[in-house]
Homo-oligomer: A and B are copies of this chain.
Amino acid sequence: MTEFDLIYKLLNTQSQQRNDVLTGIGDDCAILSVPENHSLAVSMDTLVAGVHFPESASAYSVGYKSLAVNLSDLASAGATPAWITLSLTMPAADEDWIKEFVRGIFTLADEYNVQLIGGDTCKGSLSISIQAHGFVKKAMLRSGAKAGNLIYVSETLGDAALGLKSYHGDSAVDTTCIRQFNEPEPRVKLGLLINNVATSCIDISDGLISDITHICKQSLCGADIYLNKIPLSAAYRQYYNNKPDIMQALSFGDDYELCFTIDKSNKQHIDKISRETGINLTCIGTISTQSNVRCFNQYNEVVDITKRGFEHFNG
């Protein structure tokens, strides 16, 4: 058995098998059936070792997170996940590493009824490309926000930023933050629930300010953000002795929470979704007629935002 055969064999061990996969791994193409009256939602993200995850991250985490970030994109469109393809590039076929990597992917995939339908494996420096496919009747986009809309985020921001510090030897970081960095929970169920009320939606990968800017650009509007409303976890506050680093929480990214906008009339509906799912949903500001994103402190003064979110190629 060649190393290539080994990887192929490991990728074929998924228990999850869907009826809409007519031909899966093992032919030139996967052949798939999209349900009637649904559109196909497609997202592709690549994670490079040393850029998107620490070289020392566990294989399980790398697998889990590679899928999570793609499911998060489907979540922000309000789509139901279905299939993934995987391109795995690695320096050498390390059986133990691949087994753990595959376990990380399949753990999350099985949870969301997602089947691996194909992919490619190559020799090279470690990177993972996953493309996720889902179904949606009407997708949430970045482009539907309107002046006066309320801006919400799910759960808390900044925890993943703290989680990364643990890789730099910081032992004061709470395990919940490390987990948030390694294995973020894609907000798929939330995306489905808010789909009929949200006017726009994005997942927070680049940092709230960067991502809300994407919404503003596509929706031709501005946003007023109230910094004292930004939801921070107890672990985050405690790490900073209750003087939390707000800028980091706004700009680091890697949160994979949803940021979405709604008409004010739907506020109670959002509160109800929050109660029923147990997912905290916090109103952090409003969409404005300005053309920019403004942040206000507790004295209602505009705070200059100079630090931008994570960008690839930023050296």
Contacts and interface: CB of A to CB of B under 8 A. Distances in A.
A120 B79 contact: no
Interface stretch (A41-49, A237-245, A284-292): A41-49
B89 A28 contact: no
B120 A46 contact: yes
Interface of A: 2-4, 7, 22-23, 26-34, 36, 39-52, 73-74, 76-77, 79, 83, 85-87, 89, 92-93, 117-125, 127, 129, 131, 133-134, 136, 139, 141-143, 201-203, 218, 311-314
Nearest to A120: B46
Contacts of A203: 28
- Top 3 A-B residue pairs of the complex, sorted by shortest distance between their CB atoms: A3-B313, A48-B124, A29-B77
Contact of A27 (B45, B117, B125, B141): B141
A73 B118 CA distance: 12
Contact of A39 (B31, B36, B48, B85): B31
Which of A50, A83, A89, A129 is most buried by chain B, counting CB atoms within 10 A of its CB? A129
Contact of A23 (B27, B123, B139): B139
A293 B272 CA distance: 64
